[in-house]
Amino acid sequence: MSLYKTILVTLEGTPTDRAIINHIKLLAPAMQSRVVLLHVASGVAAQYHRTDAAGTEVEESKVFLGRVRDEFTAEGIPAEAQLAYGEPAAEIIKWVQKNGCDLVAMSTHGHQLIADLVLGTTANRVQHSLSVPVLLLRAK
């Protein structure tokens, strides 16, 4: 039986993602996990039109998610890609509450403390709003 049957990997669509992608590629096979890749489109169109949103951001996000999903499946790791729309922390929390998972994995930027206090980070909000374990990996 797997400790982490389902791992939710949240992705920004930036080079920051590489750290968590590479880590989960090692962890998922060891834990016999399936991976769900989630990106939250957060541009103006995505925030207001939600699932009806179209345009460059949505199309690029779908291509990006497909590429990362294919990376996992090429290594024999069951993976699916999902796109959400809106404010990232709220959408990640909503996804976990609706679908459930055993681990949330995300890369962080490692901002300075003052910036985090003023801005509040997606990782911080997610970590403090869920009861499932959250793996935060600082991007190099």
What are the tens digits of pLDDT across the range 57-103? 778 889 999 999 999 999 999 999 999 988 899 999 999 999 999 99
Within the chain, residue ranges assigned H as helices are 17-31, 44-49, 56-74, 88-99, 113-119, 122-129
Return mean pLDDT, the chain. 85
Domains, the chain, ordered by start: 6-138 (3.40.50.620)
Judge whether residue 117 has pLDDT over 60: no
Which has more confidence, 123 or 140? 123
Phi, psi of 99 (to 5 degrees): -105, -25
pTM of the full structure: 0.86
pLDDT of residue 44: 55
